[in-house]
């Protein structure tokens, strides 16, 4: 089963895999960023306000984060 990344409407990026060990998150220097908690779904911050970046802590709700334009409406991006 593939690793799936879901862009949540006005929220985080949800990452799911059959086996969490399949997911490896790296920082800008290539160092492994350990998951927040074993067995917990991985969600990455999109709003920039999380206090536990790169993970989501729900700050987007307080911030009132609104998605930018739908990427599927952007003709410059590859479709499909």
- CA 46 to chain centroid: 7
Mean pLDDT value across residues 24-33 = 95
Q: What per-residue confidence (pLDDT) applies to 21?
A: 82
What domains does the chain contain, in order, with CATH numbers? Answer: 1-67 (3.40.5)
Q: What per-residue confidence (pLDDT) applies to 19?
A: 83
Q: Residue 13 has what DSSP assignment? A: E
Give the closest residue to 45 by CA, choosing from 15, 74, 80.
15
- 52: phi then psi, degrees, rounded to nearest 5: -125, 35
37: Cα within 13 Å, side-chain hemisphere = 7
Is the pTM higher than 0.85? Answer: no
State the chain's mean pLDDT as an integer. Answer: 86
With a cut of 80, say whether residue 66 has pLDDT above it: yes
59 vs 45: CA distance, rounded Å: 9
């Amino acid at each position: 089963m593939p690793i799936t990344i879901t862009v949540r409407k006005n929220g985080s990026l949800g990452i799911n895999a059959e086996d969490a060990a399949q997911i490896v998150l790296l920082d800008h220097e290539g160092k492994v960023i350990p998951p927040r908690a074993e067995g917990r779904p991985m969600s990455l911050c999109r709003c920039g306000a999380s206090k536990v970046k790169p993970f989501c802590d729900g700050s987007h709700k307080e911030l009132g984060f609104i998605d930018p334009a739908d990427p599927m409406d952007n003709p410059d991006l590859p479709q499909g």
